[in-house]
Amino acid sequence: MLNITRKIPFFIRCKGFSTSSIAYAKKKASKKEVPTEKVLLGRPSNNLSMGVVGLPNIGKSSLFNALTNSSVPAENYPFCTIDPSEARVRVPDDRFDWLVDTYQPDKITPAHLTVVDIAGLVRGASQGAGLGNAFLSNVASVDAIYHLVRTFENDDITHVENTINPVRDLEIIQNELRIKDEEMLERQLIELTKLAKFPDSKRLPGTMSKKEELAVVEKLANFMAQGRDVRKGDWNNNEVNTINSLHLLTAKPMIYLCNSSEEDFINGNHNKHLPDIQRWVDENNKGDLIIPLSVSVESKLVDMSKEEAEAYLNDNRIESQLPRVILAGYKALDLIHYFTCGKQEVRAWTVRNNAKAPQAAGVIHTDFERGFISAEIMKYHDLKELGSENAVKAAGKFLQKGKEYVMEDGDIAHFKFNGNLRDSIIHNKRPCTNPVLLCSDQQEKVELRYGNRINRLLKLIDIGSATQTPKAQSVKCVIQHIY
């Protein structure tokens, strides 16, 4: 059989002759549909905060002090707190404690949750009562809410409504948040109705038109008119982006904390108000978490020594609820953390749930995300079961992951990325345009070829091979995050 492909060089030399009739058609590349990532309600950040919200004089500042081991004034009169107080709370994690015991590092950095103590809201706060507008703006600045409600009777502690009625108190706070959101949506409707009449000449590609924004705001207003909180709606990505731009109060996750007396809590939370609170939450915000606790008990535990606290808990057969409160807040913010481990430091890095490996690497340093190559991942349970990193590697469970890998809570990670030495060591100002390979392996220590100085964020230690040529230099570095 004639092999026509052998004639191609001759055909090419013939002026005006086309070879298109015998060219082999390329197979069409199969297009894989990339699933659209769901946009989350709230700020796209890893540095998120919980706010303690409720009526005045119900134990908010005392709870804040117990959570954060602080000393914010807690007095028996309304509005003893005016300016919000903020503190970071350690996130309890047995895995972190085990890693610290295993690696025996020089430095430890656990995961933290930011908590804000917000002054009490009162009936009519949305109209300015009790400095309400200022306090509501403080609520807007946090990302999720601990809604504390009083369920204990005590004639010595005044109540702004004069009687103990937790369901009424819950409705007061919820109504004030809703009214503020409805006012915001009403202003947006007026503004967008005017703007929608004109063409969007300055509209950026990929953004919504004013008419589309108007339709979303109308949908939100109708939804809230049914007495529902925004966080309970099923919204598409465009709608979520609009909600996030409006910073709506009822879009924030909510956890209900029921402050019982010490006696009720020790007796197994036999509080007559708890069933009513459960019914109200099921009717109004089904699925929201309720945590009964006693701020009085938690405050006592903070003032005790470790031995005294353990004895008190054992004698009364109770547990502190603060770890549960902290972990619930962390989960409500949709946060997880992964670990980097070595002799120098064991550290927990907080990221949003479903973050991909490059985004997680970027929390350590932005260069890690920009030049991401791969992530070396160990699972905590594998390390604990097998006992060492070498054993994990020998068992074939030291995983190499790429850019699409979704980080899981408790991953132990090392990152590799391409960077430019001049970008990474700005302080040295040594000209270098060769690509370098950087990783977060903190176990090897040698001096940096380009100097021993450290910049504000990173210390780079060169363990590059002397056999590498200047034209194709590959320098492996240890990254140590410092302050």
393-451, pLDDT tens digit by residue? 999 999 999 999 999 999 999 998 876 543 444 444 333 333 334 444 333 332 333 33
Q: Which residues pair with 462 in a beta bridge?
A: 477
266-287, pLDDT tens digit by residue? 988 778 899 999 999 999 999 9
Helices (H), 104-149: 132-141
Q: Do residues 460 and 425 touch, judged by C-beta distance below 8 A?
A: yes
CATH among 3.30.70.20, 3.10.20.30, 3.40.47.10, 2.60.40.10 for 335-417: 3.10.20.30
426 compared with 149, residue with greater pLDDT:
149
Residue 20 in marked binding region = no
Distance between CA 153 and CA 273 in Å, rounded? 11
Domain limits of the chain? Answer: 49-199+207-330, 335-417
Q: Do residues 460 and 440 touch, judged by C-beta distance below 8 A?
A: no
Q: Is the pTM of this model over 0.95?
A: no
Q: Do residues 382 and 395 touch, judged by C-beta distance below 8 A?
A: yes
Q: Do residues 375 and 401 touch, judged by C-beta distance below 8 A?
A: yes
Residue 62 in marked binding region = yes
**Residue 159's pLDDT band (cuts 50, 70, 90):** confident
**Residue 26's pLDDT band (cuts 50, 70, 90):** low
Residue 70 in marked binding region = no
Helix, strand or coil, per DSSP, at residue 92:
coil
Q: For residue 339, give the DSSP letter.
A: E
Residue 57 in marked binding region = yes
CATH architecture for segment(s) 49-199+207-330: 3-Layer(aba) Sandwich (3.40)
DSSP line for 164-194: --HHHHHHHHHHHHHHHHHHHHHHHHHHHHH
Helix, strand or coil, per DSSP, at residue 205:
coil
